[in-house]
Structure 1
């Protein structure tokens, strides 16, 4: 019995699960930063809110890596 393919599948499943829990934490951090009225231009604020919403949509669709990447853009714009 070759255990390597089974191990690879198990590791991928665990990694996917970890990303799934990462998204809500990032969304919470973004929401907290936005509640403090950061010094952003109107255009920057719109972009951050758009990335935040897109990140949540991607998370709900099960696209966790894309969600984390999108939320990271919002966090970077907020100086996090």
Structure 2
């Protein structure tokens, strides 16, 4: 029982770390797509930039799943495959 509890705690600790390292990679994908001047409406561009900034703020605050969810919305507008 102690081994399974320890394994569960270990997995939980590292899953948060894995999400934390994943956020910057997603932000980089968005930044690279924006650098290519995608064909977006002004509203879409504003929304993508807002979502990108919000995703970074959430990442900085340690809210990694929320950050990834937000960044995914920006990627969808940009038509970036995951």
- 1:49 Cα shift? 0.4
Taking structure 1 as the reference length, the TM-score comes to: 0.95
**Counterpart residue number, 1:23:** 23
RMSD of the TM alignment (CA)? 0.9
Taking structure 2 as the reference length, the TM-score comes to: 0.93
Separation of aligned partners in 1, 2:62 and 2:28: 18
- State the SS of the aligned residue for 2:58: helix
**Counterpart residue number, 1:53:** 53
Q: Aligned residues, how many?
A: 80
- State the SS of the aligned residue for 1:54: helix
Deviation per residue, 1:9-65 (Å, 9 max, x gap)? 110111111100100001011001001110010000000000000000000000001
4+ residue stretches of structure 1 with deviation over 4 A?
none
Confirm or deny that 1:35 pairs with 2:48.
no
User: Which consecutive residues of structure 1, in runs of 5 or more, have no partner in the other structure?
Assistant: none
Confirm or deny that 1:63 pairs with 2:79.
no
